[in-house]
Every structure is written in structure tokens, then in C-alpha cells.
Structure 1
Amino acid sequence: MELASVHDFLKGKTILVTGATGFLAKLFVEKILRVQPNIKKLYLLLRAENPHIATQRLHDEVLAKDLFKVVREMWGADFGSFISEKVLAVAGDVSLENLGLKDLNLREKMWEDIDIIVHAAAATKFDERFDIAMSINTMGALHALNFAKNCSKMQILLHLSTAYVCGEAKGLVPEEPFHMGQTPNRSSTLDINVEKLLIEEKMEELRAQNAGEQTATSVMKNLGIIRANLHGWPNAYVFTKAMGEMILFNMKGDVPLIIARPTTVLSTHSEPFPGWIEGVRTVDVFVVLYGKGKLRRSVGRRNTIIDAIPADMVINSMIIALLEAQYSKSLSKTLLYHIGSSLRNPFTISDLEDVAYQYFTKNPLINKNGKPVAISNKVTWISSMSSFERYMKIRYVLPLMGLNVVSKVCCHCYDDFHMESQRKLQTLMKITRLYKPYLLFEGTFDDKNAEILRMAKNKAGDDLGRFNFDPRNIDWMDYVLNAHIPGLVKYVVK
């Protein structure tokens, strides 16, 4: 297989991107504008009540970011007119039919013009409310698919998923799509309509009880965890993303479909510059806690492989996958790619800890008193949740019991101490339960499809040199020490 020029492929294309304010969606938009300004149009779907709010969100939450400084420098004073010509903010909502587009004329025009849809919208919190995760991650995939079916020039629908739809898998995880009702534990029967009905019934029950927003949120988060665990997934995020994949794979019809499954996404490796990131993503929670001197013990194993991939490599793989699909002779197939590093260039918790220690020793964070934060030399990693819970009881619960019996401090002081300790305990346990599946993950993601794509790219010539997504090209020590953690400190910890 030989790939044609990316530049030629993108020229004159009209692309719809959902979830345009998201981390990866922004990177995709920036890369397209930077490498091929002669696209016809980028429609960016943003959740908004009207076009004015959508446009304001585009400028505030997308274009104003440091990410776009290279493109701004390329165009100088003409940047605004360039964006006005090439980019249109569209007010909508992926959780609604027709993606929530109220402007019928605009909808018809988009159906006539769109060549490619990149469906990147997602609710990514591990403990998201079940109703919200279902409406965005599962039903949003269906609505994007139905919208694609109405596009007369539709060439490809690319769905951005996650490799962790596999659940808590062990061994080599294949690049295979989900069949309807398939579950990781294979011991339960999953019916998406039943899950939707359960949500509707629970919401109706909460309305009948006049439950407040806080109560409803707690109940729906808990329901998501219960249903996910029942079917073999660790949280509502990957559960609802898996159901979204099922719908796409089984209902796509004649729509050419790509499913991109990145692993843990880190900051940019090279483009448009190293270290750009938004938000704290999985393992970065522990990097931040470590840098703040708050991580002494955690669930995990030193030899656990952190399957991570820089964000710009994810984007590069997506663009090359679109190009390959365009020229593939088997457009009726679903093209599925794991985008990760565990098989080709593994990076462990121990490696991350060593790099973090080097960085924060030389560049300590400053506490609220203006003093450098002291970090521990080594974190104590506890290899099971039950052992960690026992430790937490010794660390927090038993001292409280002893204080209650022998302390001479007043009741008021005891109550304050008790409440603060309980808050710390609850916070630590919540974080640990959320991330435990990834700190103890025993799977390795097969990426043979992605490797075939890389091989085709490498044969295609210099034009594709700017689209590196080979994990073997990552020097983990250099990247994490000099790009990722500095970017995390600059853009997230601040």
C-alpha cells in the first residue's frame, strides 16, 4: 500500500469535528490548519444554545490557547480573516438527534458539504454521572453516525475512543471491535436499551423524590459504577465508550468507519511545540501529587507498564488513518487502531518515579508559604487494594480511635481533627479506587494495525515525515523530563 500526499488529501476537504473544545480535538484542528490551510472548511461543533455563544467558546476555549501560537505567527495580522474563512463554530449537542443543530439551513448545507467527520466529543471523567456518560459517549456515537449517513459526500467517520474499553484485561489485547452485548467478563448479558431504561427509571425516581442536584449526581455516579462493574468495566467512562463502539460497529451500514483507540494521552512530544497539555490525565494525577509532596504511598506496582502516548502522535496517527482509509480498497471494513507504546517501547511506574524525582529535586514546586516543596525519595507502592485499605485504616482510623480515648484536647478540637482526617481519607480512597485499574493494569495493547499504517507511511516519502506516531521514537527520559513534566507544571499546576 502506498499513501498519497497528506497535503493533497486534505486540500479542499470539509471536515466536521465534534467536541471541539476537548484536548485532542483542539490539537487535530491546529494540525490541520497548520499543515494544510487550503482545506475548504472546518465545522467545529460546540455545546452552545446559539451561534453567538458557540463562536465565543471557539475564540475563548480554542483559538486563544497557546497551542495556536504557531498558526497565529504564520498568519500574523491575517489570522482573524483566515479563521473566519476556514472555521465555523456550530452550536449543537452530540447527545441530541441531528447533533442538536437547530438551524435547518445550516444542517442541510453541512449534509451537502461534509467529506469527513471526526467524532471526538466525550465525557471523560472516570466517575461521571451515568446519565451524562451514556448520553454523550454512547448516544453521541449513534447521533454522529446518523448524521454521517445523511452526508451525501461522506467519505470517512473517525471515532475517537480509548484503548481501555477492554476493561481490566491481561496479556495481549487485540485490535478488535466490540460486538453488540460483548462484555469483558463474558458472564453477563449487556443490553444497551436496558441500561438506558435503568437510567430513565432512576431519574424518574429522583424527580418523584424532589431530590436535589447534589443527591442526583451522587446517585447517578454510583449507578454508573455499579452497572460498569456488573458487566466487567472499572468505570462509567470506559463502559459507555465501549457501548458507543458497539453501536458504531454494528449499525454503520455503508459508512466507512475508523475507530482510534489511544491509551493514556500525555502532552505533545514535538508539535506544534513540546509539552502542551490540558488537564490532569490519569498518571499525571500522581505526578502532581508527588511534586506537591503529597504522595508517599499508593496502590500500584513498580513494574506496571504505563501505556502512554504523546498527544501529537495520536493526532498524526488519526490523520494518516484517514488518508489510508481514503485510498483503501476495503472501505466497507472497520479500521481499528490501538495508539500506544506498551508493546514497542514500554515505560513503567518505576521509570516515571525516577524521572519525577529528578525533575522535582532540581525544580521543586513552591508552597503557599513561598518555600520549596520537599518530596520523598521513593514512593511505597502497594500491590493490592485490600492491602492499601488496611494501611489506610492504620494511618487514619486507629489514631482517631486512640485520640478519642486518651486525648485531653477539647471536644471541639477533636471534632475538627476528626473531620479533616475523614476528608483526607475519603479523598485518597476515591482517587485510589478510580485509578487502581490503571496502576495495576496487566495488559499489553497489540498494535499490528497501527504498525502496518506506520510501515505504509514510512514508504510514502518525505511528505509524511511530519506525521510521526512511532512510539519507538520516544526517548522517555528526555521527553518526560524536558517536555512533559515542565508542560504539566506550566499549563496545569501553574
Structure 2
Amino acid sequence: MDASKVAGCFKDKTILITGSTGFLGKMLVEKILRAQPGVKKIYLLVRASNNVAAEQRVIHEIVGNELFGILREKHGADFQSFIKEKLSALAGDIIHENLGLESTRAKQLFEETDIIVNGAATTNFYDRYDVALASNTYGTIHVCKFAKQCARLKLLLHVSTAYVAGTQEGRILEKPLEMGQTLKEGRCLDIEAELELANDVKAKLEMERSGISHGQLEKVAMKELGLKRANYFGWPNVYVFTKAMGEMLLGTMRGELPVVIIRPSIIVSTYQDPFPGWIEGVRTMDVMIAASCEQKLPCFISGPILDSIPGDMVVSASMVAMATHYNCAGAEVVYHVTSALQNPLSCNLLEESVYAYVLINPREKDDKRTIQHKRPLLFSRYAYFHAYMVLAYMTRLVVLYLANYVLLGGRFTEYYNKLSRSLNSLMFVAKLYAPYGFFKGCFDDTNMRKLWGTTGARHGDGYMFNFDPSCINWRQYLFNTHIPAVVKVASQMKSFFFEILFFLKLIAEIIGVLRK
């Protein structure tokens, strides 16, 4: 399927997209408009109090983004009228029946919509259980029910994650999840019971409400419940657990609705489309990159391979998949949009690239002094990292504790408590991310390779819908594109980034205090 046929699939079509204000969502909207200006209408479901507020979000968060620069230049003075004609903002939320839309608007979409793309989700690894269930699990069902009422609908594309596989080892196939399956032998998952449990715990907390700290206590309790239930059934965090349950329900309830499920691995900045290095936020391995560039992280923790894929390749794969399976009644196809089997990115290469980058592009402190960079330690197993932290820092923290109370009369209690809390936070975050960095499975990509084969493109570079990971030179991409992009974004979002570095920054303090 050549590029013109892929683009042609979207001509005169009406598309409903959820999650359009997210990283992938923005890229998908831009790519459809650029590849097929003849698209009839793209409805964007966004959380807002009303349609006017929804339109403002679309203008400021999507259309106003630098990502739309090429489109803006292409259409010139007609850009605003083009956007107004093609995009329509809708106030709604997938956590509600009929997506929270007014009945008249819902009826209109039932009659007009050809394709639905569900990209809305909460991606927080440590989110409240009730919030994650509402969005990632039952939100998926609300989208499915809505899609089944659309008379013209030819396809529902659901964006998931490859890590619904949890902590499985070996080759993980591109196949739908089975209802009730778990990753721990002897345990059966009842999704309705999980929702009831979350509601019961929340109701109990409401009954025990007392004092101004109740809201924070409820938040922590619901987060802990989500993590506990995910671990009980074999998933590492509430995000992938609730996404897995969403897939299970979708497979059970879709009927003859044609469904494509896209499962990307770790998503990184754009490879080439619409330009190299576009990224929003600091995510997953980017935290390590940014922290290392600022000399706030003394070590890298990861297994030998970090399965990563540029965001524009995820979008291109999604569009080719939509064009391929459009109007194929009854189909349910899963695609692993991943790179490890064809072109693996090693943690060693990532660490080498970051170190090489900071040597050539040294960072400066707030006082303009150049940061002296030291090469970080590299731990290929989480157990090694944990042992290192115990020997290097935790034991010394115990010594500080004893010295404080036995010799210093408790004068450093506040400082000790601060370091102790921070160190515990660091270990918690490291453990939360460990299943990604130390993932022992391998994502089969047979379906994705076959999909790429339909394009007829021998090599990804130059093809409008490139999602061929074998064309990526990881060393060049990291050094020239991704690392500079992460550094730029981190510097632009200082307040948020420093909040992330709260756990990492403490290491410098501990090194300075405990090694004395």
C-alpha cells in the first residue's frame, strides 16, 4: 500500500479522536491534516466545562503547538480557516456514558463518524485505582459502546501499550488478551469485582472522613490500592494493569466491530516527521537522560535492551493500520510497534551517548560555572542497584541516625528525616520504573513487519508513513536528536522537572554528607 493509498483512506472521512491533547494525539491530528487535507472533519473530544472551553484547549494546546509549524507555513493566511473547517472541539470525557456528550451532539456523531481513535488514558504508573479504572478500563468500554452505535463506523483503533504484558518473559505474541487472564498462576481476575472493590474502599474512606488532611489520605490510600491489586495479579503498576483490563473488556464486548490495537513500547521523540526531535514532557528513560546531563544521577539502571520507538513511527503505523483494516468487519488485530527484535537500543549505547553529549555540550550551573561531569555507574540488574544503594548510602544513613541521637543530641533530626524520606522516594520510583528498564520479555512484531511489507517501501527513510525501526541509527539519533530534545524540554519546564528530580537530587546531598 503506497503512501497515496494510505492518505486516500482518510479523504472525505469523519474521524473522532480521544486523547488529542496528548503526545501521540497531537501528532496524529497534525499528520492526518498534512497527509490528507481532504479529510472531511476531525472531532476532538477534550475535557472541558463546555464546547467553548474545549475549543480554547484545542487552539492553545494542539493547533498552537510548534508541531503545526509546517501546516501553518503551507496554508499561510488560510491556516485558521482551514483549521476551523477541519477540526471541531467537543467537551466530553470517556469516563462517562456516551463520552459525556449532549444527546443531540452524540446523535450527530452516531450518524457521521467513519473512524474512532481512542488514545485517551491516564499514564501515571502510581495513579489512584478509581481514576485509572474509570479512564483506562471503563473508559475503553464507553468508547466501544459509543462506536457500536455509529451507523457508518468502519474501524475503531485503540492505543494501548506493549507493557500490558506485565513482567512476562520470553517472546510475547501480538494477540488479544483473554478475559480474566492474570500473570500469576491460580488467580482469576474479575474486573467488575475490582471496580466494586475500588468503590467500596473509597466509600469507606468517605465515611471515615476527618480533618483537612482527609483528601490527601484518600489519595494515598487509593494509589496504594491500585499498586497492590496490580501486583497481586502480576502487573507492575496500575497503568498497565488497568490498560490490560481495558483490552480484555474491549475484546469481549466489541462484537463484530472491527478493532485495531496499537501497542507501542517506550515512546521517544520524533525521528523525522514532521521534524526530528519533537517531544513533550520528560518520560520514562528521559528522566535518566535529563538527570545525568545535570549531574544529578550517579548511575544508570537498566537491563541490556531498552525497547524504544519514536512517536512519529507509532503514528505512521497507526495510520497504515487504519488504511489496511478499514471496513474489515469482525477483525481484531494487534500490532506491537516496537524495535528490539529488528534494531535494539542498548542501555550501554544510551549511557555512552549521554556522556559523549555532555562532554561536547557541557551544562552550566545557575551561577554559570561549568558542571564537571563524571561517568555514571551502570547497573544491569535492579538487585545490583539496590545492593549498591544499601552499601553506599543506606548504611551511612543509619550511621548518621545513630550519631545524631547518641553524640549530637538530635540536632540533625530534621535533616536526617529529609534525607531518609528522599532516599525512600528514590528507591520507590526506581522500583516503579524497574519493570521497564529490566524487562525480560521480547515483543514479537510479526504483524507489524507484515504491515510494513504492504507499503512496498524498501527502506523507511523517505516514505511518508515510515515506521521501520531498522532504519534508525540509534547513536546518531540519540546524540543529534533525542538527547538535545530532552535537555531542551527539561530546561523549559524547570518547575516540573525539578519536582521529578526531587528524588534524584538528594543523591548529591547524600554523597556530600554521608561520605564525609
Query: What whole-Å deviation, never above 9, does each CA across 1:3-47 have from its counterpart, x for those lacking one?
Result: 971232111011000011110011000101111111100000001
In 2, Cα distance between equivalents of 1:464 and 1:481: 21
**What is the number of residues matched between the two proteins?**
488
Deviates further, 199-208 or 437-446: 437-446
What is the one-letter code of the residue matched to 2:5? S
Q: Residue 381 of structure 2 contacts residue 438 of structure 2 at CA under 8 Å; is this kept in 1? A: yes
2:302 aligns with 300
CA change 1:460–1:342 in 2 (3 A) is closer
Q: Which string of whole-angstrom CA distances, capped at 9 and with x for unpartnered residues, describes residues 241-271 of structure 1?
A: 0000001111101111000000000000001
2:395 paired with 1:395: no
| Percent of aligned pairs with the same amino acid | 41
Q: CA deviation at 1:76?
A: 1.5
The 3 A distance-change label for structure 1 pair 222 and 406 is: closer
Q: Which residue of 1 aligns with 2:28?
A: 28
Q: Is the 8 A contact 2:159 2:261 kept in 1?
A: yes
User: C-alpha separation between the residues in 1 aligned to 2:332 and 2:350?
Assistant: 35
Cα contact 1:178–1:242 (8 A) shared by 2: yes
Shift of 1:52: 1.4
Separation (CA, whole Å) in 2 of partners of 1:223 and 1:293: 35
Over aligned residue pairs, what C-alpha RMSD do you find?
2.1
Q: What does 1:161-172 correspond to in 2, within 5 Å?
A: 161-172=160-171
Q: After the TM superposition, which of the residue ranges 133-142 and 393-402 deviates more from structure 2?
A: 393-402
Are 1:227 and 2:225 matched, yes or no?
A: no
For the Cα contact (< 8 Å) 1:14–1:41, is it kept in 2?
A: yes
Unaligned runs of 5+ in 2: 493-516
Shift of 1:423: 3.1
Q: Residues 409-455 of structure 1: CA distance to partner in whole angstroms, max 9, x if unpaired?
A: 86575123202311320221122011111121111111000100000
Matched with 1:339 is 337
Query: What pairs with 1:92-491 in structure 2 (closer than 5 Å)?
Result: 92-101=92-101, 103-210=102-209, 212-301=214-303, 304-326=304-326, 331-381=329-379, 383-385=381-383, 387-406=384-403, 413-458=411-456, 465-491=463-489
Cα 1:412–1:117 change in 2 (3 A) is same
How far has the Cα of 1:144 moved from its partner? Answer: 0.5
TM-score, structure 1 normalization: 0.94
SS in 1 for 2:455: helix
Paired amino acid for 2:398? M
- Specify the code of the residue in structure 1 equivalent to 2:242: T
AA of the residue aligned to 1:214: Q
Q: Report the Cα offset of residue 388 of structure 1.
A: 3.5
* SS of residue in 1 equivalent to 2:235: coil
Tell me which amino acid in the other structure corresponds to 1:19: G
TM-score by length of structure 2 reads: 0.90
Give the whole-Å Cα distance in 2 for the aligned partners of 1:32 and 1:231.
39
How many angstroms apart in 2 are the aligned matches of 1:423 and 1:76? 54
Q: State the alpha-carbon separation in 1 of the partners of residues 56 and 411 from structure 2.
A: 49
- Greater mean deviation of Cα atoms: 283-292 or 470-479: 283-292
The answer as to whether partners of 1:291 and 1:373 remain within 8 angstroms in 2 is no
Q: CA deviation at 1:292?
A: 1.5
Query: 2:514 — aligned with what?
Result: none
1:224–1:444 distance in 2 versus 1, CA, 3 Å: same
Measured in 1, the distance between the counterparts of 2:221 and 2:111 equals 43
Deviation, 1:113, is 0.7
- When residues 411 and 447 of structure 1 are mapped into structure 2, their CA distance, relative to the original with a 3 A threshold, is same
- For 1:399 and 1:162, how far apart are their aligned partners in 2? 40
Could you give the per-residue CA deviations for residues 174-215 of structure 1, whole angstroms, max 9, x where no partner exists?
101101001122331001001001001000011001162211
Aligned to 2:85: 85
Cα distance in 2, alignment partners of residues 251 and 404 from structure 1: 57
Structure 1 equivalent of residue 50 of structure 2: 50
Equivalent pair of 1:99/1:143 in contact (CA under 8 Å): yes
| Separation in structure 2 between the aligned mates of residue 5 and residue 468 of structure 1, nearest angstrom | 14
Q: Return the alpha-carbon distance in structure 2 between the equivalents of residues 264 and 85 of structure 1.
A: 34
User: Could you list the runs of 5+ residues in structure 1 that have no partner in the other structure?
Assistant: none
